[in-house]
């Protein structure tokens, strides 16, 4: 499982029926970015790492 997928899954438990990528892909991506921004804010991720993770989406 990629970092991209892991962070996507981390945002789902907040509201599974709303953030499920299979039902609301755009909203799931928005939530994923919120999770990454919080990780940056709390020192668990850098902006460069965020950009690399977002690149995984294109693979």
Q: What span, in angstroms and rounded, lies between the C-alpha atoms of 12 and 15?
A: 6
Neighbours of 50 (CB within 10 A): 17
The string of pLDDT tens digits covering residues 5-26 is: 999 899 999 889 888 999 999 9
Task: Find the domain containing 22 and state its range.
Answer: 3-56
Residue found by looking up tokens 């921004």 in the block: 37
In this predicted structure, what is the pLDDT of residue 14? 81
In this predicted structure, what is the pLDDT of residue 41? 98
In this predicted structure, what is the pLDDT of residue 58? 66
Is the pTM higher than 0.85? The answer reads: no
Number of domains forming the structure of the chain: 1
Q: What span, in angstroms and rounded, lies between the C-alpha atoms of 58 and 54?
A: 8
């Amino acid at each position: 499982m990629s970092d991209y997928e892991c962070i996507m899954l981390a945002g789902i438990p907040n509201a599974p029926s709303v953030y499920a990528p299979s039902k609301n892909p755009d909203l799931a991506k928005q939530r994923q970015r919120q999770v990454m921004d919080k990780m940056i804010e709390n020192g668990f991720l850098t902006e460069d790492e965020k950009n690399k993770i977002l690149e995984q989406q294109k693979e």
